[in-house]
Amino acid sequence: MTTTTTTHIQETLQNVYDKFKDVRDGEVASYIPELAKAKPDDFGISLTTVDGQVFSVGDFEKEFTIQSICKPFAFLMALEEFGRDAVLEKVCVEPSGDAFNSIELEPKTMRPFNPMINAGAIAIASMIKKSSRDCGVQYFVDKMGLAAGRKLDIDQAVLVSETETGNRNRAIAYLMLNCGIIDAAVDHALHQYFAQCSLKVNCQDLAMMSATLANMGINPVTKQQVFGLEYVKDVLAVMFTCGLYDYAGEWAYRVGLPAKSGVGGGIVAVVNRQLGISVYSPRLDAKGNSVRGIAVCKELAAHLGLHAFDFTNVGSSFMEWLTAAK
Ligand code: GLU
């Protein structure tokens, strides 16, 4: 990549940052007391290309908890460990059109609708929880560290807060025990899920993780194969249709990228074989998605022609844009 190109990308991020930096709409999540401590005005954007170029602006080193952005990665780990059929026996891949914490199962099979809402993610956590609590959590933390390219840790205060206040998730888990979706080690599965949500990351970590998905499971900087190639497409497909809760349809329509948001204020989007984007801004809209996160992704997708089906404009794809900028 030439210096002109890299300058152009950095300038684009800076312009988008400046455009939205004064937006104050939305509220910080408060249903978990620890999350309410986030600084509402924090704002960072990162973009990592599959050839390992990293671009960031704003509070990109500020740590926060990954929350629901853990879900696609946990789904990927379950697919790697158990294969497609065994995972689909426990969780469907249908958009629910409902909120992240909805208490409902698919009426015919009693499976959760998809792995991106809490029910599906708890079913996945039950599958990947391993024989001891520490073992399952450590496996997840280590693998996510490889995707981020640095060692990561759990935020213990958030984990305690999740555990103390997670009665709705407990209700969902017991409903799934009753329907034979998860085994009787309910507390163990919930611990795995709460710990996954409590992983501490920054915006740059998330962009590297999403670039790892874009790069067929290979971390673009360390060059390590973190995830097997076979199931990355499964995860991207489900992120595309279910990643933004009950905003997923409009997101696919307007932004057109596989993505996942979390109530910690993070959001990631994947441009397959090209790059990973992430935004951190903790003020959320009524559906639990970061207000500025959505605005930034819409702007970048429009400006750089990133929508998966955006083929009408000549030179609209990011790679063509890069070539033109050389
Ligand atoms: N830990 C949160 C919960 O399960 C995650 C929610 C989210 O980020 O959507 O309630």
The residue ranges of every structural domain in the chain are 3-66+201-325, 68-197
pLDDT given for residue 313 in this prediction: 43
239 residue type, one letter: M
Domain 3-66+201-325: what homologous superfamily? Answer: DD-peptidase/beta-lactamase superfamily (3.40.710.10)
pLDDT given for residue 317 in this prediction: 61
Stated pTM of the model? 0.94
CA distance 288 to 142: 27
Pocket test for ligand 1, best of 64, 155, 158, 162 (most atoms within 8 A of CB): 162
CA distances from 70 to 7, 37, 107, 110 (A): 32, 21, 26, 23
Determine the atom of ligand 1 nearest the C-alpha atom of 31.
Answer: 10
Is 289 near ligand 1, meaning CB less than 6 Å away?
Answer: no
Q: Cα of 197 to ligand 1 centre, how many Å?
A: 7
Q: Cα of 182 to ligand 1 centre, how many Å?
A: 19
Determine the atom of ligand 1 nearest the C-alpha atom of 262.
Answer: 8
Residues 6+ apart with CB under 8 A from 113: 92, 94, 95, 96, 98, 104, 105, 106, 119, 120, 242
pLDDT given for residue 319 in this prediction: 66
CA distance 208 to 282: 20
Residue 276 backbone phi and psi in degrees, to 5: -120, 140
Contact 232, 75 (CB under 8 A): no
Is 78 near ligand 1, meaning CB less than 6 Å away?
Answer: no
pLDDT tens readout for residues 132-171: 999 999 999 999 999 999 999 999 999 999 999 999 999 9
Q: Can 62 be counted among the known catalytic residues?
A: no
Q: Which of 17, 46, 71, 280 is catalytic?
A: 71
Written out in words, the top-level CATH class of the domain with range 68-197 is: alpha beta
Q: Which of 238, 263, 268, 291 is catalytic?
A: 263
Is 162 near ligand 1, meaning CB less than 6 Å away?
Answer: yes
Expressed in angstroms, the distance from the first to the final Cα of the chain is 8
Is 120 near ligand 1, meaning CB less than 6 Å away?
Answer: no
b/e sequence 37-56, b meaning 16+ C-beta within 10 Å: ebeeebbbbbbbbbebbbbb
pLDDT given for residue 314 in this prediction: 44
Q: Give pLDDT < 50 ranges for the chain.
A: 312-316
Which structure tokens are listed for 202? 């920054």
Which structure tokens are listed for 95? 């958009």
- Do 3-66+201-325 and 68-197 fold alike per CATH? yes
pLDDT given for residue 164 in this prediction: 96
Is 49 near ligand 1, meaning CB less than 6 Å away?
Answer: no
Q: Cα of 82 to ligand 1 centre, how many Å?
A: 24
Determine the atom of ligand 1 nearest the C-alpha atom of 100.
Answer: 9
Q: Can 56 be counted among the known catalytic residues?
A: no
pLDDT given for residue 3 in this prediction: 72
8 residue type, one letter: H
Element holding 71 (H helix, E strand) = helix 70-82
pLDDT given for residue 316 in this prediction: 47
CA distance 189 to 248: 26
Is 121 near ligand 1, meaning CB less than 6 Å away?
Answer: no
CA distance 117 to 71: 8
Residue whose C-alpha is closest to residue 127's, from 77, 198, 178, 66? 77
Q: Can 263 be counted among the known catalytic residues?
A: yes
- Estimate to the nearest angstrom the gap between the alpha carbon of 37 and the chain centroid: 21
Q: Which of 17, 245, 247, 280 is catalytic?
A: 245
How many other CB atoms are found less than 10 A from the CB of residue 262? Answer: 28
pLDDT given for residue 77 in this prediction: 98
